[in-house]
Chains A and B, each alone.
Chain A
């Protein structure tokens, strides 16, 4: 699949460990132009860009997912291996690999370099973080390292742009010749590789030598099911490995030993360490951040600061969105004559979509702050600390970031679970994640809580209790489910790199936030748009003969559905209006507010959201049953509140869960399970409260 065959641009792939500065280098090389897509068949992001070399040649640069080796553990790493082996049918094999290596930690990074060289691809080593290595007392000679490895080596510091020009110049045509393996095995091993590669060639496999070495060097690759590898190749490899073991040769062990020897030789020749026992800045920060007691205070302060900023600073842009929606509604409403089209555009589309867009500032602010935590290196420390808590309920420390994101929106939270290596822990995290109180629930709480508690202090306490209840239930259910799913036996042991603290790469953080914004608007927006149009139609047709707005709800399809489902919601203390509002909000919970407003014929006040909410609350307080008693006593309101804390009312989340778990079974089981849980919780609260005389 070389350039000549498919007549496309030469492809250069960036490969390296996670946190090595690959993305920063990618941005330096591309000037931050990039295209984000997905690898076909897997939910792994593909980041690429077209670049020009200083000699005017055009190339495609691909940032492959970070990996520690070519013997993968996670889906991301598997993509990297399969693309490099040329086994990814939809993706051509790179023509050159730039291996990004941390100069301060060569012993840890060179094993991957040797594996890349063994692939028979041209390799160029980018020796990153040279400044940090020098500060740590390490003297490096890139030329000697290049001689030892047999590939070009360019020293650089991606964060400051040092060495990037030299790296670009090294991408000259013709590309360097394919690198050659740097070690020679025992006669038995070399014989096994040669024999296996012959067999693979007869099976019609491309690059038989490369595949033979990969198969003998990685037990999982030849034993576990590999979608990109023919079964016959695995059978041949297992036979070859068995023959080696008969001769007291474990092929993977010998290969590792030979690579280690080669690396040690290269490092001894190319580096010189000046003893530097001084404590780094990271060590000093870690003495506080990872202190057994002080570390928790530090952690709590950071989490508190995040939430405080979200509620404090997001208010301002949220008000702008609110004003914008109001003005757009007025403007569009004024352009068209009164009628169904006007109502569809203003009451349906603009108001419905506006109700979702209003959460954008909160979501973006949370992502920005999470991006800062990740970029600065603190997120790994938080993961380390939280592992102690998470392990008690069967989750891993790596579940912490997704659960934290869940406070903004469950969708990115579910996507963030990809970093969890254990499939079972990942599934468990996804299943309980929607119980984290997301921002879409806030407008519902803003209507209901003041109906229960008039004082501001009481309302704040109630809000805290709601967050606590959601997270507490998520962790409790995770504990129960972990026993059922059998997480305990299968959970991999905790192993995590704690990168040095650094200043976040702001351009990366901002772009990440922008990507999230667009994804949120695209995914939620398109679905919400469809739903609001449907809800508008159900609420508008058929038209009440009297033409009065109060009668319209009962006469409309929505009102009829409400009366139909009333027997189901009656045991919760709800009437048809609450029933339909809840049913409608199964698509997206924020629809509750507009649906209640429509059913009580409350007009939206474009200048002041609180007045609008107060009007809804007054309408709810004044509503009476046929016997004259209040339609919504506090117990009913509490029952609605409990239902909204627990129910999964967000179709985009269900769609994302299906995509991430590749199973409708889990996605629908989660939807059904959480809905039932919410119903039962609301039932217990209402019926229990009634029995106690509330």
Chain B
């Protein structure tokens, strides 16, 4: 389920870059911590709203607030809805 080229990965929008207050759909998880992210609730096609930025950012998934580091957010690729 990973990106096929580096260019494709670099040009995709990740949760770390996404704007606060907007709603997104998770397109893909790509990176070493996919398993950890999936377990806590970040899965493909799920809707996520970014609540705040900072060293660790907060987002809402399925009505639950989740806090995660920027390194992890960089592994969650999203598209705006």
- Complex Cα gap A369–B64 (Å): 25
With A108-B40, A253-B1, A260-B44 known as contacts, the answer to whether A292 contacts B54 (CB < 8 A) is yes
- B68 contacts partner chain A, Cβ-Cβ < 8 Å: yes
Chain B residues near A102 (CB, 8 Å)?
Answer: 64
- A73 contacts partner chain B, Cβ-Cβ < 8 Å: yes
Contact B55 A391 (CB under 8 A): yes
List residues of A (102-157) whose CB comes within 8 Å of B's CBs. Answer: 102, 104-108, 111, 136
Contact B38 A111 (CB under 8 A): yes
With A106-B62, A253-B1, A260-B43 known as contacts, the answer to whether A384 contacts B71 (CB < 8 A) is no
Q: Give a binary string over A379-411; 1 marks a CB under 8 Å from any B CB, 0 the rest.
A: 010001001100100000100000000000000
Minimum C-beta distance from B38 to chain A (A): 7
In-complex Cβ contact of A496 among B52, B55, B66 (8 A): B66
Minimum C-beta distance from B62 to chain A (A): 4
Chain B residues near A264 (CB, 8 Å)?
Answer: 45
Chain A residues near B67 (CB, 8 Å)?
Answer: 380, 384, 494-498
With A495-B72, A497-B64 known as contacts, the answer to whether A105 contacts B56 (CB < 8 A) is no
A220, closest chain B residue (CB): B35
**B interface secondary structure, majority:** mixed
Contact A493 B72 (CB under 8 A): yes
- B9 contacts partner chain A, Cβ-Cβ < 8 Å: no
Chain A residues near B44 (CB, 8 Å)?
Answer: 260
In-complex Cβ contact of A494 among B35, B62, B72 (8 A): B72
Contact A68 B40 (CB under 8 A): yes
- Please list the 3 inter-chain residue pairs (A to B) with the smallest Cβ-Cβ separation, ordered nearest first: A108-B41, A498-B65, A68-B39
Chain B residues near A106 (CB, 8 Å)?
Answer: 62
- A226 contacts partner chain B, Cβ-Cβ < 8 Å: no
In-complex Cβ contact of B41 among A105, A286, A387, A388 (8 A): A105
Chain A residues near B66 (CB, 8 Å)?
Answer: 495-498
- A504 contacts partner chain B, Cβ-Cβ < 8 Å: no
Total contacting residues, chain A, CB less than 8 A: 36
Contact B65 A493 (CB under 8 A): no
Contact B64 A493 (CB under 8 A): no
Contact B63 A104 (CB under 8 A): yes
- Complex Cα gap A494–B52 (Å): 15
- Contact sample, A vs B, 24 pairs, CB 8 Å cutoff: A68-B39, A68-B40, A69-B39, A107-B61, A108-B40, A111-B38, A260-B43, A260-B45, A264-B45, A286-B65, A384-B58, A387-B55, A397-B56, A493-B69, A493-B71, A494-B67, A494-B68, A495-B37, A495-B69, A496-B68, A497-B66, A498-B58, A498-B67, A499-B65
Minimum C-beta distance from B61 to chain A (A): 7
- A530 contacts partner chain B, Cβ-Cβ < 8 Å: no
- Complex Cα gap A332–B56 (Å): 60
Minimum C-beta distance from B52 to chain A (A): 7
- Complex Cα gap A500–B66 (Å): 11
A218, closest chain B residue (CB): B35
Chain B residues near A380 (CB, 8 Å)?
Answer: 67
Q: Give a binary string over A246-283; 1 marks a CB under 8 Å from any B CB, 0 the rest.
A: 00000001001100100010000000000000000010
Chain B residues near A384 (CB, 8 Å)?
Answer: 56, 58, 67
In-complex Cβ contact of A257 among B1, B37, B62 (8 A): B1
Minimum C-beta distance from A386 to chain B (A): 11
Chain A residues near B71 (CB, 8 Å)?
Answer: 493
Q: Give a binary string over B42-81; 1 marks a CB under 8 Å from any A CB, 0 the rest.
A: 0111100000101110100111111111011000000000
Chain A residues near B72 (CB, 8 Å)?
Answer: 493-495
Contact B52 A290 (CB under 8 A): yes
With A68-B40, A494-B69, A495-B72 known as contacts, the answer to whether A387 contacts B56 (CB < 8 A) is yes
- B33 contacts partner chain A, Cβ-Cβ < 8 Å: yes
Chain A residues near B4 (CB, 8 Å)?
Answer: none
- Complex Cα gap A102–B72 (Å): 24
In-complex Cβ contact of A495 among B40, B55, B65 (8 A): B40
- B11 contacts partner chain A, Cβ-Cβ < 8 Å: no
Contact A71 B35 (CB under 8 A): yes
Minimum C-beta distance from A683 to chain B (A): 40
- Complex Cα gap A387–B56 (Å): 8
- A317 contacts partner chain B, Cβ-Cβ < 8 Å: no
- A492 contacts partner chain B, Cβ-Cβ < 8 Å: yes
- Complex Cα gap A387–B45 (Å): 29
- B36 contacts partner chain A, Cβ-Cβ < 8 Å: yes
Chain B residues near A496 (CB, 8 Å)?
Answer: 66-68
Q: Give a binary string over B1-31; 1 marks a CB under 8 Å from any A CB, 0 the rest.
A: 1000000000000000000000000000000
List residues of A (286-325) whose CB comes within 8 Å of B's CBs. Answer: 286, 290, 292
Minimum C-beta distance from B73 to chain A (A): 9
- Complex Cα gap A257–B34 (Å): 13
B33, closest chain A residue (CB): A493
Contact A71 B1 (CB under 8 A): no
With A105-B64, A107-B62, A264-B45 known as contacts, the answer to whether A494 contacts B40 (CB < 8 A) is no
A252, closest chain B residue (CB): B35
Contacts A257-B1, A388-B54, A493-B68 supplied; 8 other A-B pairs, CB < 8 Å? A69-B39, A105-B63, A106-B62, A107-B61, A264-B45, A495-B67, A496-B68, A497-B66
